[in-house]
Amino acid sequence: QVQLVESGGVLVKPGGSLRLSCAASGFTFTAYYMSWIRQAPGQGLEWVSYISTGGHTIYYANSVKGRFTISRDNTKNSLHLQMNSLRAEDTAVYFCVRGGGDAFDFWGRGTMVTVSS
Amino acid sequence: QSVLTQPPSASGTPGQRLTISCSGSSSNIANNYVYWYQHLPGMSPRLLIHKNNERPSGVPDRFSVSKSGTSASLAISGLRAEDEADYYCAAWDDSLRGWVFGGGTKLTVL
């Protein structure tokens, strides 16, 4: 069955960096766009970024552009999000999600990132 | 402020038909597909309906959508207790060149 398992979420200080990872299994990873979507505490869903199958097309939300970098390793069926210059408003559960060029059709359980001094 | 506007809450009784609205603009809803997601408490969000009323396997036909101009709606007929969840609309925004979500509607089944 399809599985997306996120890791890397921790408590980090403002201005710090963090790298999230997502291990995908149960489907042909190379055939799907992949995305990161986040949910701040008590708030709604916010799309963060998506990457195409080969990694050549990437989009970011304005709120993270220039600070976050999405990447994928198709040899290891993994998705990553490098997060730099973190701010308090980046505090959220980060979901690894299958899709991005079309529907977001499968979501991981999420990993919590807390940015606080 | 979310780019797409949804009512923050909605409520209904079992068996009732209820609709949740999603308002956008010409850069998103008017010219792109609208997607709806259901977020049950303690679970990951799941795709509910996409494109033209296409439902993934396991989603009952009690859920349907409509769109007119810059607005879309999710209709739930025969409301059930297990429908109690947060519902989000989403669409690609051509101006922002990114996906935008509504703020979410918390559905309570009385």
- In chain A, the residue whose alpha carbon lies closest to the alpha carbon of B52 is A103
Residues 6+ apart with CB under 8 A from A42: none
What rounded mean pLDDT belongs to chain B? 95
- Mean pLDDT on B44-72: 93
Q: Compute the Cα dihedral for A99, B36, B8, B96 and give only its sign.
A: positive
Q: What is the pLDDT of residues A79-107, one digit of tens each?
A: 999 999 999 999 999 999 999 999 999 99
Residues 6+ apart with CB under 8 A from A73: A80
* Cα(B76)–Cα(B80) distance, integer angstroms: 9
As given in the structure block, the two tokens for residue B49 are 């309906």
State the DSSP code for B30.
Answer: G
Instruction: Please answer yes or no on whether B88 and A100 come within 8 Å at the CB atom.
Output: no
Q: What is the pLDDT of residues B52-65, one digit of tens each?
A: 789 999 999 999 99
Instruction: Please answer yes or no on whether A62 and B2 come within 8 Å at the CB atom.
Output: no
State the DSSP code for B50.
Answer: B
Q: Compute the Cα dihedral for B101, A7, A27, A35 and give only its sign.
A: positive
* Cα(A115)–Cα(A117) distance, integer angstroms: 7
The C-alpha of B44 sits at a distance from chain A's nearest C-alpha, in angstroms, of 5
pLDDT of residue A61: 98
Q: How far is CA B86 from each of CA A3, A24, A29, B44, B108, rounded to the nearest angstrom?
A: 23, 26, 29, 11, 9
Instruction: Please answer yes or no on whether A104 and B102 come within 8 Å at the CB atom.
Output: no
